[in-house]
Structure 1
């Protein structure tokens, strides 16, 4: 009986060592895989669900945007606020996103079309629709106007009063804004 106890004890030790090695390997693999995740991979499972984001507020305190994450691109996200107001946020303006789920999307699985739909593409849609917008700049300045042209690294905006259209007599001035200076764009309905 003593030999049987010894063999049983050795077998249990061997199984415990194997389990510990497997656990360590899985933990290491998980850390390595997490290193490939991007913020948009973490956010993709939240599309269509409520979210809260802290964004650059310039000289004022950071602003908190909340609503439904309506869409997500490579370098932007679209939040539909209560009342159906849409806010376009460049990813670089994000300071934090609250309560993302543990689950992430696979890195690089957004498809080739999504990779082409960058911030400039979405801004061109605002130009095409002649959408009146409020632009928050990273220095905290707010501009009201209609985007009129998008370049490779800038946006041109015809500034006018809220509720007015970008017509010759209504335009106060024209602004050329580097894309990096935009904290977010709120579409006015």
Structure 2
């Protein structure tokens, strides 16, 4: 009997050690997988989140998360009023759930330049905010490899040569958001 209890005790200790080792391995793998997640994949899992709040320097863009690219997010702040937010300008995000979704190969290549070119083609009057919160209004004339060129004019005027008061180059790395007016 004594030997049986000893062997039972050793078996129980061995089983407990195996459970602890497995738990440790699972926790380590989970940490490694989470370390692979980026903001893009987290936001992709939360498309249509109704109250996503992206905090930029000095302001918060809150609304329904419409779309996400590798370096941008499109947030509908009011019906038919989307705001294009540059992800490098985002300081924090709230109002989203857990999870992540791997983007398609095409989605990974659809950067902020492509999104801005769509706005440029529409010739829409926009409000451009930089990472410091400075605002400028006008029409995007050119979207380069790493910047946009804004023909500055009043928000209630169309883009005509006589209405243009200046030209503003905004590098993508200093872009905060672009909102159609």
Is TM (by shorter chain) over 0.5?
yes
RMSD: 1.5
Of 61, 66, 69, which aligns to 2:62? 66
Runs of 5+ consecutive residues of structure 2 not aligned to the other structure: none
Tell me the residue number matched to 2:54.
53
- What do the CA deviations read for 1:157-186 (whole angstroms, capped 9, x no partner)? 111111211022222222222222211111
1:99 positional shift: 4.3
2:74 aligned residue: 78
Q: Partners in 2 of 1:55 and 1:139 — Cα distance?
A: 9
- What SS does the aligned partner of 2:137 have? strand
Q: In the alignment, what sits opposite 2:98? A: 102
Task: Name the residue aligned to 2:3.
Answer: 3
Which SS does the other structure have where 1:104 is aligned?
A: coil
Instruction: Give 1:46 shift.
Output: 0.7
- The DSSP-based 3-state class of the residue aligned with 2:159 is coil
User: How many aligned residue pairs are there?
Assistant: 180
* Unaligned stretches of 5+ residues in structure 1: 57-61
2: distance between equivalents of 1:159 and 1:102? 41
Q: State TM-score, norm by structure 1.
A: 0.89
| Residues 149 and 168, structure 2, Cα contact 8 Å, conserved in 1 | yes
